[in-house]
Amino acid sequence: MASHQAGRGRDERAGAEDFESGLDYGAFVEDDAADDPNRTQALPAMGRDDDGGAQHTSALSPEDLAALRGGDAAAADRRDAGRPAADADRDIVASRAVPEGDRRPLPGADELGPLSAAVGARAAGSSAAAPVDRYPEDGTAAPVAQAAALQGPTPEERARLPKAGPRLAQVLLAILAPLALLLAAVRLVASPVFLWLEYHRPGFPADRFGFTLADRMHYGSAGLDYVTNLAGPRYLSSLTHQGAPLFTEVEVDHMTDVKTVLWIAAAALVVLVVVCALLIASLLRTSPGGVRRALFAGAVWLPLAVIALAVLAVLGWETFFAGFHSLFFADGTWTFSVRDALIRLYPEQFWVDAAVVVGLVTLLASLVTLVLTWPTRRRRELSADRREQLLRTRLRWAREDDAVVR
């Protein structure tokens, strides 16, 4: 028991000695640090003042650095005239973080003279400066890069002419304009003028079954009027010749089918004209020279198609005529006897001449279009000049829009 207590006493004394030596060691380290002239003393990173306010450290701004290097304290005063008082308090937190007696000069402190004067002047005048919001909510003080990103495309980018849309418009115009021309030629043939010229031209075959030229003009004009007006089938079924109905029921039904096809073609022609007008208007705004190129392309392929159809018709008119009718009419509804009124009024030669007129009108219109749209050097230069002028105009509009927004 005695040995045990003795050992316990030795342990307590050893612990006390260790504790005292630890305090002495700490004091020794602190004294050594205090005697070291090269020591730099760190400020508290984050703490609180006696009044509960947070302590901060502040980095030098580019303006402070300029004032530091140039020794211009007045420049720092002018820059900080509008800064809030809280910014000045943060800048001088170092003077409050360390007690007065424990402060030691840092290396190069003589270089900090201008900055110290600037900070002191700022602290003196901070209470009179009006607070300024350095980061307003409207984003006017955002960085330049961020502002540029928020603005979107530049005026130069917005002024660029589109490519995909005008190209598609040119392709559509090159296809639809020739089709509209073809339908217009067909509608030209279905007119009283063509009928009169056809009946009166030399070499037109006479009727073998008694129709005179006057009879043909009267009944032929009635049939043509029916397919172009809005009258019902009675318009034809009521016609008589020598006391008998002029047309059979099958003939009247076929003329009704022809009337439907012609009205659909007329409606399609109107739609094509409207669409082509819209395409032309769009190309004039977005693609200088685009209308000319599209019409030129259409004037190239349409004559080739007409020539190919003409070759087929010459090689076999009966086959060509039957194939054309089979596209629009049911089989058995468009074949008649040579004694029927439709064949006597509109014989085969009538349809051959009609096809020739349609082909000639189409070729002539295509030739005129080729002459007017041929890509000569002068026309290409004019298109380039109009393109440059349009680009400048769009750029001016874009810049004016930006000026209005600002």
> What's this model's pTM, rounded to 2 decimal places?
0.60
User: What is the pLDDT at residue 105?
Assistant: 52
Cα atoms in the Cβ-side hemisphere of radius 13 Å centred on 157: 5
Angle at which helix 113-125 crosses helix 62-70, to 10 degrees, equals 120
Beta bridge partners of 54: 48
Please state the domain extents for the chain. Answer: 58-131, 165-375
pLDDT digit of tens for each residue in the chain (406 aa)?
444 444 444 444 444 444 343 434 333 344 444 444 444 444 444 444 444 444 444 445 555 555 445 444 444 455 555 555 445 444 444 444 445 555 555 444 444 444 444 444 444 444 444 444 444 555 444 555 555 555 667 767 776 778 888 999 999 999 999 999 999 999 999 999 999 999 999 999 999 998 999 999 999 999 999 999 999 999 999 999 988 999 999 999 999 999 999 999 999 999 999 999 999 999 998 888 999 999 999 999 999 999 999 999 999 999 999 999 999 999 889 999 999 999 999 999 999 999 999 999 999 999 999 999 999 999 889 988 888 888 788 777 777 777 776 6
Angle at which helix 348-373 crosses helix 290-315, to 10 degrees, equals 150
- Structure tokens belonging to residue 306: 């007409």
User: What is the pLDDT at residue 397?
Assistant: 76
User: What is the pLDDT at residue 40?
Assistant: 44
Q: Is 318 exposed, middle or buried (0-12, 13-18, 19+ CB in 10 A)?
A: exposed
Cα distance between residue 259 and residue 225, in whole Å: 10
First to last CA, the chain: 96
